[in-house]
Chain A
Amino acid sequence: MLVLSPTVSTRAEALPIAPREPNLEGEVWGFVDTSKVNADLFIEILKREIANSYHPKDFVVVRKQAPGLALTTEQIGLLERCRFVIFCFGD
């Protein structure tokens, strides 16, 4: 029996991730607090560890109103100041 596939058959080239630097010292670190319970606590503890190890210039934290919402243009603008961004967390 000849049947049609119910799935989408597309071929696409994978997109590259952003280039990484060899050194994490002295940069601005960004965090996205997804507003999951304890994400804020996780970030506060993580910031202390980063401060001890990498002597960052600054920290930027944006908090989502709900995990299911996309970052706002304003939040993306704030995060563009950062060299790295850590999403905390999916749970």
Chain B
Amino acid sequence: MSWSVQDATELERRGIPTVTVCSAPFLKLGQAQAKHARMPSIPFVKILHPMATAPTDTVAEQVKEVFAQIGRSLKASDAPSSAEKPLLGEERNRLEIKGGIEEVNELFHEQGWTDGLPIIPPTDENVAAMLSQSPRHADEQLGLLPVSMHPVTPKMLAVNAVMAVCAPAFFPVVLAAVECLLDDDLALYSMQTATNATTPLVIVNGPLARTLCLNSGQNLFGPGNRANATIGRAIRLALINLGGEVPGVTDPATHGQPGKYSFCIAEAEQDSPWTPLSVERGYSPEQSTVTLIGAGGPQNIFTYGCLNGKEILETFVGTLCGLGHNNIIFPTGPLFVIGPEHAQTLARDGFSKRDVKQYLFDNGRIPLSRFSEGSQRGIRERRARWFEVVGDPAHIGIADDPDDILIVVAGGMGIHSQFLPTAFSKNAVTKLIREKV
């Protein structure tokens, strides 16, 4: 449904009656979006799913089937009364629960307030401890978090960070990451309401990453590090509890991905021959930052037998040139998490970070003839800038500009790197991590 409901509420506000046609699996999502937009009476008409692969006859039958209902939704007689002004939401700040941690966990699971894993019960005491590290006032409104568009405060974030088992020292990172979530460039609303598996990835740079012992090395996308695990988890719990994410309702992802439990890494600046991501994005090496981008699950690039930088890059290009990944359709620019061994080999062979981006941009192009006719049409529309600016009408590239490609050096020893297709975000969003002084 993505933005249709938001757009429909905007037109309704302007006095234009609308009706939103949606296929059956997305009806609940649309209704939830309408409720979050405070316009629960907005009409929907349900059609069969899937329409994308339906033959013309089926589409025509569906139109005939719902035609009368579309008309009724736009007419006065059957539309819900505009005089109805129900109150949305309810007051519920504190809960008294009989029992201990197990009972709290049972209730929180039942209410849909967890990610399915046990939580630490948020009490006045542990939330106050979390807030003791906040550089912002507990009740300061930070912005409206999609999809619910409810106002978010450090206090509400602290409750979710406690549940995620964050140490209070991690809280400034959580806060900065949420500031990124609220930035329009991240396009969180579209990301959260899509069937795509994309979700925000948190990348931490600067001295605080080392102080907090964030993992930038071996197994950094895997388990075993409290900071990576719980900062990422706090973000997810905030999206669930403050952003109104409900799997299967407001989160209609076809598969989702493991990164939706926790998706937080640090850059291995000490192992990198190149400028860190945060410095590329305008910050000094002494400043600590978080960068967020909508990312898919990491795809391993194993450069077995490659002896030099050029062979490594050719393997990277081969990975990029498969059909069906997000950076063919979305103009966001892919993310590479390059292992330190690969980075050192590339640097040894004279490749700067900018050279790597340029190589991937120049060579990461797929002949349009490999795609179906329908796919070619979609690519021409959604990647219009490529065809306008780059001027290679026979191919589609993996980015519209070399500088749209993001490179982070991280990981342990080994001849592996990771390709993370990105989507939705207009740009990666970087914010300074402010600590309490």
Given contacts A20-B75, A42-B21, A91-B26, contact A8 B150 (CB under 8 A): yes
A45–B381 CA distance with the chains assembled, in angstroms:
22
A89–B77 CA distance with the chains assembled, in angstroms:
24
Contact assessment for A7 and B241 in the assembled complex, using a CB-CB cutoff below 8 Å: yes
Contact assessment for B39 and A21 in the assembled complex, using a CB-CB cutoff below 8 Å: no
Given contacts A19-B15, A32-B4, contact A6 B40 (CB under 8 A): no
A64–B381 CA distance with the chains assembled, in angstroms:
9
Residues of A within 8 A of B100 (CB): 1
A54–B67 CA distance with the chains assembled, in angstroms:
12
The B67-119 residues at the A interface (CB cut-off 8 A) are 67, 70-71, 74-77, 79-80, 82-101, 103-104, 108, 113
Contact assessment for A38 and B52 in the assembled complex, using a CB-CB cutoff below 8 Å: yes
Q: Count A-B contacts at CB 8 Å.
A: 263
Residue of A nearest to B101 (CB): A1
Contact assessment for A9 and B91 in the assembled complex, using a CB-CB cutoff below 8 Å: yes
B121 interface neighbour in A3, A11, A16, A36, Cβ under 8 Å: A3
A63–B43 CA distance with the chains assembled, in angstroms:
21
Residue of A nearest to B7 (CB): A71
Contact assessment for A14 and B4 in the assembled complex, using a CB-CB cutoff below 8 Å: no
Contact assessment for A6 and B90 in the assembled complex, using a CB-CB cutoff below 8 Å: no
Least Cβ distance of A64 to chain B in Å? 8
Contact assessment for A12 and B88 in the assembled complex, using a CB-CB cutoff below 8 Å: yes
A87 interface neighbour in B8, B95, B124, Cβ under 8 Å: B8
Among B15, B21, B67, B151, chain A packs the most CB atoms within 10 A around the CB of B21
The answer to the question of B148 belonging to the interface, with a C-beta cut-off of 8 Å to chain A, is: yes
Least Cβ distance of A24 to chain B in Å? 6
Least Cβ distance of A47 to chain B in Å? 10
Q: Is the interface of A mostly helix, strand, loop or mixed?
A: loop
Among A9, A17, A30, A79, chain B packs the most CB atoms within 10 A around the CB of A17
Contact assessment for B49 and A91 in the assembled complex, using a CB-CB cutoff below 8 Å: yes
The B18-36 residues at the A interface (CB cut-off 8 A) are 18-23, 26, 29-30
Residues of A within 8 A of B74 (CB): 20, 24, 84
Contact assessment for B84 and A11 in the assembled complex, using a CB-CB cutoff below 8 Å: no
B17 interface neighbour in A20, A34, A35, Cβ under 8 Å: A20
Least Cβ distance of A91 to chain B in Å? 4
The A54-84 residues at the B interface (CB cut-off 8 A) are 54, 64-71, 76, 79-80, 82-84
Contact assessment for A87 and B93 in the assembled complex, using a CB-CB cutoff below 8 Å: no
Least Cβ distance of B367 to chain A in Å? 22
Residues of A within 8 A of B241 (CB): 6-8
B89 interface neighbour in A10, A18, A20, A32, Cβ under 8 Å: A10
Least Cβ distance of B355 to chain A in Å? 31
The answer to the question of B389 belonging to the interface, with a C-beta cut-off of 8 Å to chain A, is: no
Residues of A within 8 A of B21 (CB): 42, 86-90
Residues of B within 8 A of A14 (CB): 38-41, 84-88
B190 interface neighbour in A37, A39, A45, A68, Cβ under 8 Å: A68
Residues of A with Cβ closer than 8 Å to B?
Answer: 1-24, 30, 32, 34-39, 41-42, 45-46, 49, 53-54, 64-71, 76, 79-80, 82-91
Please name the 5 residue pairs, one residue from A and one from B, whose CB atoms are nearest each other, closest first: A68-B190, A90-B22, A16-B82, A90-B1, A8-B150
8 CB-based A-B contacts, threshold 8 Å: A1-B99, A1-B123, A6-B242, A11-B87, A13-B86, A15-B9, A36-B51, A71-B7
